[in-house]
Amino acid sequence: MALVPLRDHIFFLAQLQNLGYLAVYFTALAVRFRAGRVTRPMLSIDKRPLAVVGACEAVAQLLFMAGAAHIPGPLLPVVNQTYLVWSLLFASLILGTRYSRAQLAGAALVVAGVSAAAIPPAALAQWLPQTAGSAAAAAAAAVSNAAAAAEVELRYVAVCVSCFAFPAIANCIKERVFSSAAATLGRPLDIFVVNSFGSLFQAVFVLLLLPATTAIKGLALSDLPSHMAASLRAFLGEAGATAGVAGGWMQYSTPLLALSYVVTNLAFNISILSLLRSVGSVTTTLVGSSLVPLTIAAFTLPLPYLEPAMLGPNFLLGAALLMAGLATYNWESWRWLLRGLRNPQPRNSSGGEASAG
């Protein structure tokens, strides 16, 4: 919703998000340092891996916002799942993780699902038989009529897909930082150390990427101040400055939506990094994948700025393949989980679970 009124002001929204990250993370870091939960040795860890993390997240943020503003909302949670494939690849290359055939088959189904969901309905209609009076012809006509409302520009889908390579690399590096710091410090590294310095480096690299950012938008660096002034007016909901707004109360909801976007991302990032520290990057990716059906369903609701999504047959096929891929990938984990629920292990004297070997 936030991307609709600020579609032409993506850079402004990205900087608003970065400033919010820096303010919240470093405030939390200072509070936790005073409380003794963050120690000086934690603050003295090698920052070079976090610099790479910041660079990856700056590039990913730029590419995702540029692509996401131009593809249908229901397609976003499907495209997001290509992160699983990137995560598998880079966890194997960086962390040396190995995967079973079922996991690889699940990842292949995820790719097939994203590809099917991204096919323009008009292209799908051309594949259907055009026999006069047949049910297939009627279905083809219906799909063609839906094409105007659900047209997908594949170049923007490709931008979003490629951008997820960078957070996959960043998460693998974060996982290595957590494991090496725990071995060195003798205790888990506080997540706000990683969040704070990672966000600081991200802000630095966003500034370094300004020439590329302005070039993508067709702006000269000298035009950036006037563009940011226009972005501020759009953020404040001034009449005529906000694209895609019909007026009324929705015009003045732009600041609320943008700030809600930043707050929600903060909460999600803190939660997901806590999970990453505990269970690793690939399992964290799979937990996030469980949100797919809920997110798709949310886009069918009458939300502000957004027309309720019409899900075509190609999208439903893609979503089905994607969920089948996630189920296939998770099959072994779910089987062990269900077995554990049926036969809970007795707790040992230290309060932990007894090892099953």
- What stretch of H or E contains 349? none
In a domain? residue 36: yes
pLDDT, position 42: 94
Smallest CA-to-CA distance from 312 within 118, 137, 133, 97 is with: 118
Q: Which of 80-84, 107-111, 133-137, 352-356 has the highest mean pLDDT?
A: 107-111
In a domain? residue 256: yes
Tell me the average pLDDT of the chain.
76
In a domain? residue 318: yes
Range of the domain at 79: 9-126+143-238+249-330
Give the pLDDT confidence of 77-100 residue by residue, as tens digits: 677 777 878 888 888 888 888 888
In a domain? residue 199: yes
Q: Which pLDDT band holds residue 338 (cuts at 50, 70, 90)?
A: low
Give the pLDDT confidence of 185-233 residue by residue, as tens digits: 999 899 899 989 999 999 999 888 888 777 777 777 888 888 888 888 8
The pair of structure tokens assigned to 85 is 């494939």
pLDDT, position 215: 78
In a domain? residue 81: yes
Give the pLDDT confidence of 39-71 residue by residue, as tens digits: 999 999 999 999 999 999 989 877 877 777 677
Residues found in the chain = 357
In a domain? residue 335: no
Q: Give the C-alpha separation, 103 to 283, whole Å.
A: 12
- Domain count for the chain: 1
How much is the pTM?
0.67
Q: Does the pLDDT at position 327 exceed 60? A: yes
In a domain? residue 80: yes
In a domain? residue 345: no
Q: Give the C-alpha separation, 213 to 125, whole Å.
A: 37
What are the start-end ranges of the E strands in the chain?
Answer: none
Q: What are phi and psi of 347, to 5 degrees?
A: -80, 145
